[in-house]
Amino acid sequence: MKPNILLVVTSMLSILLISFHIAEDIVLGFTGGGLSNLIAIAVLVAYLCGALLWSERRLGLIILLLGSLVAVVIPVIHMMGAGLGVRRSAGAFFFVWTLYALGVTGTFGFLLSTHALWTSRVVSRAPVP
């Protein structure tokens, strides 16, 4: 499978998991609902555009790299203390599973986007015959 296809699929999965995670944060009471969630929607739209529209361009790869970093940081923040009361709720299993899946897809997406950026840098510097 081509690396860019893997990157797009991994990014789409990360977008899905991030949206699940945001919904879980609201339902479990870690964050409030409201208009502040429009910022998260805008970020996810930019991540989606990077994955589907611009994955062959350097700008798209940078967006995917940044989105992958967000997916990696979310579990780190929760494992550092935010979300300790989740074990008392009915949705604890899905919440924790989402964090692990985000960590995996975020790390894999980071590696793939770094590789794609490095490859695009090398290709753009290749001498023209």
Q: For the segment 106-120, what is each residue's pLDDT rounded down to a tens digit?
A: 999 999 999 999 988
CA 119 to chain centre: 21
Binned at pLDDT 50, 70 and 90, residue 35 comes out as confident
Determine, yes or no, domain membership for 90: yes
Mean of pLDDT values over 57-63: 95
Determine, yes or no, domain membership for 21: yes
Mean of pLDDT values over 56-68: 95
pTM of the entire predicted model: 0.86
Domain, as residue range, for 105: 3-124
For the chain, the domain total comes to 1
Q: What are 88-107's pLDDT values in tens digits?
A: 667 788 888 999 999 999 99
Determine, yes or no, domain membership for 69: yes
Per the CB < 8 A criterion, the answer to whether 16 and 109 are in contact is no
Determine, yes or no, domain membership for 68: yes
Binned at pLDDT 50, 70 and 90, residue 84 comes out as low
- Whole-angstrom distance, CA of residue 84 vs CA of residue 101: 18
15 to 40, 67, 84, 85: CA distances (angstroms): 11, 8, 24, 25
Determine, yes or no, domain membership for 129: no
Determine, yes or no, domain membership for 47: yes
Determine, yes or no, domain membership for 83: yes
Question: Which of the 8 DSSP states describes residue 54?
Answer: S
Q: Which residues make Cβ contacts (< 8 Å) with residue 35, sequence separation at least 6?
A: none
- Tokens of residue 85, six digits: 């009361």
Per the CB < 8 A criterion, the answer to whether 102 and 68 are in contact is no
Determine, yes or no, domain membership for 17: yes
Per the CB < 8 A criterion, the answer to whether 99 and 74 are in contact is yes
pLDDT at 120: 85
